[in-house]
Structure 1
Amino acid sequence: MKPKAYERSIDPATRAMLLKAEKEGIETAWDRYEKQLPQCSFGQLGVCCRNCNMGPCRIDPFGEGADKGVCGATADIIVARNLLRMIAAGAAAHSDHARDAVLTFKKMSGGEAGSYGIKDEAKLFSLAAEYGISAEDRSKEEITAELASALLAEFGKQEGPIQYTRRAPETRLRLWAELGIEPRGIDREIVECMHRTHMGVDNDATHILLHGLRTSLSDGWGGSMIATEVQDVLFGTPEPRKATVNLGVLSEDKVNVIIHGHEPILSEMIVEAAEDPTLLKLAKEKGAKGINVAGICCTGNETLMRHGTPIAGTFLQQELAVITGAVEAMVVDVQCVMPALGSLTGCYHTKFISTSPKADFPGTNRIEFHEEKAYETAKEIVRTAVENFPNRSPEKVSIPDEKQECMVGFSAEAILKALGGTPTPLIDAIAGGSVKGIGAVVGCNNVKVQHNYGHVNLVKELIKNNVLVVTTGCNAIACAEAGLLVPEAASMAGEGLKGVCEALGIPPVLHMGSCVDISRILVLASAIAKALGVDISDLPAAGAAPEWMSEKAVSIGAYVVSSGVYTVLGTVPPVLGSAAVADLLTRGLDGVVGASFAVEPDPFKAASLMLARIEEKRKALGLKA
């Protein structure tokens, strides 16, 4: 019988660290998942309610127990309210990230955050123009200050649509307005989510879910898009570059600093501090040959696509990076950080450093980050890691050999630039059948799915059938680890897509960034739809999240579907306790917003669903099969 490690992941580096963890008696997320089995079936169906203290209430889906909560709430109401709260939490996470980026932007304009500057002036002027801000005879600082104020005002906007929704096709804008889901400020929509789901407020499942769509749109076309745009201005808009991924990027003879989380405000400074001559000299004095910064999750994706900083792994590899025994500091900001890291780092020499004023964890060294002293704080963190290098136990060090080259940095601007500044060549390739359509594959890892199995096999199936894939987040990292983000991967694609990739020198799978950068996919889809004179829902495109697990993914899925893109989920959301809600999400939404969800754990069947949708849209546009 094969060890459990082989059932848990398809990635060799991950398997190696799981075997090491088992040998050393170290607990991982997979072990904790097995201890939870069987998981609460009421929770999995979404039919439990804790929204007041008369409960918790639960509805028996088999009709043998209670069919209503104490207040009279049915399964439909409870499931819809629970889903709306998930959307609110996910939208809050992405959009609070955006707010921090804008606050840094504003402080920089006033000279209060001297470590930062404008890396993309062209985008600064472009964004200012969208807000009607004049650049004539004005300094960059004045333009930046006015733009920052306009962006901050978007968060609490009480009436009227947020600015970046104007990037969507006119037909989509009219549809949102007709449905009453044109988004206002993200803060208003989230507050309304919490109000509606309070005991005794909104008790109609369809009404509740429509507000969920509205809230998600304020994230996708608001908060997330703002984060992407501001970070591009501050740190540079990504362009294609080469890098390496997987646990093998860790170094046996250098100080290893892992940056993990989702906000690049600090990690940008850590990348810079790691090249500081004083710290490099100190590292050599401590016996190291240098300082190696590597990423986990989307903080890693941010620095990967702008600097080529290597990525050590996905969400489920965060513990495994520590288990290598070679990490001097695990530096975290917010989101997707396992609190288990505190006790785990105690088994090794690793310093677990938390930096965000909003997020603390058990067992951390707290070095709180503030923009006013960004570079100084980054140097303190890197120095802490360097001084920890002599504490490494050589007998505990085991770094897998696996590391894979990848090509990253395909922002919407970079893709259009590669196409000659217009989406026309891509449209021509789609119209001619060389490229059947576009697949947007994103999302987390989930211990319920064999690590990377859903991600890699779904994407391979799509490119084999001439679907160009765009990817973000942990899916992007998984695809990179599987060798799908290099031009040579075109050999795995169908003949049509292969030819296009070889002509342009690109991979068949394009890394577009972190989770918030799904907004880049919206911008690209909108540009293609406008060029064709159609709505986004008319495009031969489909989305998927094969291994999703977080509330952010619920918000993402909702705004992608609300934007008109059919989306397949690989893990089951907690909605099956209500036939009405499940039916609305998987069928009814098609007649409302032109797209819906599907749930299919098998990546090959999921690919078939996406391909069928793409062919259906091709046929409707009069394109050849």
Structure 2
Amino acid sequence: MACATCSNGSADACATHMLDVAEADHIETAFSRYAKQQPQCGFGTAGLCCRICLQGPCRIDPFGNGPQYGVCGADRDTIVARHLVRMMAAGTAAHSEHGRHIALALLHVGDHKLVDYDVHDDEKLHVVATRMGVETEGREQSAIVHDLAELTLDDYQNQDYDKPCHWLSASLPPPRLKKLNDLGLLPHNIDATISQSMSRTHMGCDADPGNLILGGLRVALADLNGEMLATELSDVLFGTPMPVASTANLGVLKRNAVNVAVNGHNPLLSEIICNVAADLHDEAVAAGAPDGINIVGVCCTGNELMMRHGVPLATNYLSQELPILTGALEAMVVDVQCVMPSLPRVAACFHTKIITTDKQNKITGATHIEFDEYRASEIAHEILRVAISNFKRRDQKRIDIPNIKQEALVGFSTEGIISALAKVNPQDPLQALVDNIANGNIQGIVLFAGCNNAKIKQDENYLVMAKSLAKRNVLVIATGCASGAFAKGGMMTSAATAQYAGEGLAGVLTAIGEAAGLGGALPPVLHMGACVDNSRGVALATALANKLKVDISDLPLVASAPEAMSEKAMAIGTWSVALGIPTHLGTVPPVVGSDTVTDLITNAAKAQLGGYFIVDTDPKRAADKLFAVIQERRAGLGLSTVALAPKPATFQLAQPRTASALLAS
């Protein structure tokens, strides 16, 4: 049966089953809490509630019959714009703080201060350093690492307002850089841009909605800068993902193992936990778990481990409480971002330990074991021993692990995609992609990003839209909780290509997958990583734009966040628009109370930037709109907008150069 008090529920059969368990045991989850919140505040939904100062909260009557100004005199346009920019600034702070942790760790690796970390991809180190202008010829690895980290950290402290951040300057196509520079949108310093966004939205400061939205675009681009550096430096430290087989959904939990879930976003701890788990295998067996320790992922920390090591993914954001309800989870280890404060309350009904690890992110009721990069291995062992000792506290009668899991081929970093393409054209791997876009076998590309949102049936919009677009020969790439939705939904397999991809797309994916030795077609959805790895999609778009000598805004490329939820999602969507990418939101952002702001992020953005927001809560209609945009972009490039008879995807095989070397060239 479906959970009667869980509102929109989930498209995931595992989640539906566990929600029935929760209802029977009277355990609250995000799904039931959303139902209890109804009806939600209409003023807040429209963006017309202002709480910036203590004279409020002030609200604007959307129908014009009541107050039209706050106490200070701010009107609906100012209130909506300020709120939106503050959301972008908070999202940027989250991503950029993640990036800072990675950059500092890299710096300390270069200075030989972190014994538990090292450079795992020396080739990528040299490629990135060269792109960033760091001298590599004849230099020791540690010196290159140190200088790259120092240059990166300068993006957090540069005081020259007219000198754009290093990572954006080195990573975007020249036409887009010029456009953004001419509009004054390139940030000079991540921290300062966030601070300025908070300052200008303070009571009594910037009250012009147009100027505020320009500031929002600037801080959103600072978010992209933070994502770029976090992703690229993580690859240097932990290895660049390449295609790897994995599994997804709650069936990845094991009855006879110590199950440990890692949840959050920062890979610094989870990588070490993954590395040292084998050390404690015998201790787990001695505690009564014959299968040892089973590490599983939740949310984006799970995506990080999944794409680098094939670690199975238990679930994504909205259903992160549900692994606890299986009665088979010994510990959930959390770091930062998108972690529900409810986890200890749910865990109190079972034996599960919730372990927080970041000094800035604690939760009442959780066990706190503070992570320190200087003692990373020691702390990872301590955490795993807590989980092992907890295994004996299981109530065997309450164990209920759904027998559902999906195979998934994951790990398609930009280098991973180019490496696969290089098997069919080693000297010019992108040409295979370009040729099949030109001949219509691939109509375009869509990047699915974003979160889960309790306002929407979990995962459903992702699945409906991806199936609709893939059938029309659109290549789908995905990050974050979108990746989780597709992995759990069986969309990352060769079988899914045969079932859901159009004839042209299926032919291309089959030819590339077989040429790359992957045992069949590439999946119709390519897993590109965590939400911070949206920058991988930008890297792929930049490579295509540079090859074609066009701007990103000219490409048949669109983005979609069908279940957008977090402040990070607003920052991501906004920089996507700033790059010239039409971007769909499946949840209505808090802007509809202002026609001016709505026009700025749609019509005005399209005129100035080429990118714009498309808001539509109906997934079928949204897929149609995105496909229509792809057709417009194809026409702009002189490509046919009529569905052509798919051409055979045949390629000459040869020994390729490495993916990193191909990117460098």
1:511 maps to 2:511: no
Corresponding residue number in structure 1 for 2:382: 380
Q: State how 1:327-476 maps to structure 2 within 5 Å.
A: 327-420=329-422, 422-476=429-483
Superimposed CA distance per residue, residues 220-246 of structure 1 (whole angstroms, 9 cap, x where no aligned partner): 1x1000000110000000000100000
Q: State how 1:155-234 maps to structure 2 within 5 Å.
A: 155-159=156-160, 160-166=163-169, 167-220=171-224, 222-234=225-237
Q: SS where residue 274 of structure 1 aligns?
A: helix
Shift of 1:146: 1.4
1:107 maps to 2:108: yes
Corresponding residue number in structure 1 for 2:251: 248
Shift of 1:462: 0.8
**Higher mean Cα deviation, 161-170 or 403-412?**
161-170
Q: SS where residue 187 of structure 1 aligns?
A: helix
Q: Is the 8 A contact 2:8 2:456 kept in 1?
A: no
How many residues align structurally?
622
Shift of 1:587: 1.7
Counterpart CA distance in 1 for 2:571 and 2:312 is 28
Counterpart CA distance in 2 for 1:21 and 1:398 is 12
**Percent identity over the alignment?**
48
Counterpart CA distance in 2 for 1:615 and 1:236 is 37
Q: Is the 8 A contact 1:155 1:223 kept in 2?
A: no
Q: Is the 8 A contact 2:273 2:380 kept in 1?
A: yes
Q: SS where residue 8 of structure 1 aligns?
A: coil
1:521 maps to 2:533: no
Counterpart CA distance in 2 for 1:604 and 1:274 is 44
Superimposed CA distance per residue, residues 44-99 of structure 1 (whole angstroms, 9 cap, x where no aligned partner): 01111111122111111111111001111000000000000000000100010000
Corresponding residue number in structure 2 for 1:286: 287
Corresponding residue number in structure 2 for 1:617: 633
Q: State how 1:30-109 maps to structure 2 within 5 Å.
A: 30-109=31-110
Q: Is the 8 A contact 2:132 2:167 kept in 1?
A: no
Superimposed CA distance per residue, residues 334-375 of structure 1 (whole angstroms, 9 cap, x where no aligned partner): 000000001111110001100011100011111000100001
Q: So what's the TM-score if we normalise by structure 2?
A: 0.92
Corresponding residue number in structure 2 for 1:147: 148
Distance 1:234 1:360, change over 3 A: same
Superimposed CA distance per residue, residues 161-187 of structure 1 (whole angstroms, 9 cap, x where no aligned partner): 112223212111111111111121111
Within the candidate set 497, 510, 522, 1:502 is matched to: 510
Shift of 1:137: 3.1
Superimposed CA distance per residue, residues 103-151 of structure 1 (whole angstroms, 9 cap, x where no aligned partner): 1111122222110001000111122222322223321111111111111
Q: Is the 8 A contact 2:493 2:523 kept in 1?
A: yes
Q: SS where residue 548 of structure 1 aligns?
A: coil
Q: Which runs of 5+ in 2 are unaligned?
A: 423-427, 514-521, 642-665
Corresponding residue number in structure 1 for 2:495: 488
Counterpart CA distance in 1 for 2:144 and 2:222 is 25
Q: Is the 8 A contact 2:111 2:146 kept in 1?
A: yes
Q: SS where residue 423 of structure 1 aligns?
A: helix
Q: Is the 8 A contact 2:102 2:234 kept in 1?
A: yes
Q: Is the 8 A contact 2:152 2:166 kept in 1?
A: no
Counterpart CA distance in 1 for 2:589 and 2:442 is 31
Residue type of the alignment partner of 2:397: E
Q: SS where residue 358 of structure 1 aligns?
A: coil
Q: SS where residue 114 of structure 2 aligns?
A: coil
Shift of 1:422: 3.0
Shift of 1:424: 1.3
Q: So what's the TM-score if we normalise by structure 1?
A: 0.98
Q: SS where residue 610 of structure 1 aligns?
A: helix
Counterpart CA distance in 1 for 2:3 and 2:531 is 33
Corresponding residue number in structure 2 for 1:554: 570
Counterpart CA distance in 1 for 2:108 and 2:175 is 38
Q: Is the 8 A contact 1:120 1:234 kept in 2?
A: yes
Q: SS where residue 275 of structure 1 aligns?
A: helix
Counterpart CA distance in 2 for 1:586 and 1:600 is 13
Q: Is the 8 A contact 1:6 1:15 kept in 2?
A: no
Q: SS where residue 155 of structure 1 aligns?
A: coil
Corresponding residue number in structure 1 for 2:647: none
Counterpart CA distance in 1 for 2:159 and 2:494 is 47
Counterpart CA distance in 1 for 2:108 and 2:2 is 55
Q: Which runs of 5+ in 1 are unaligned?
A: none
Shift of 1:3: 4.2
Residue type of the alignment partner of 1:359: N
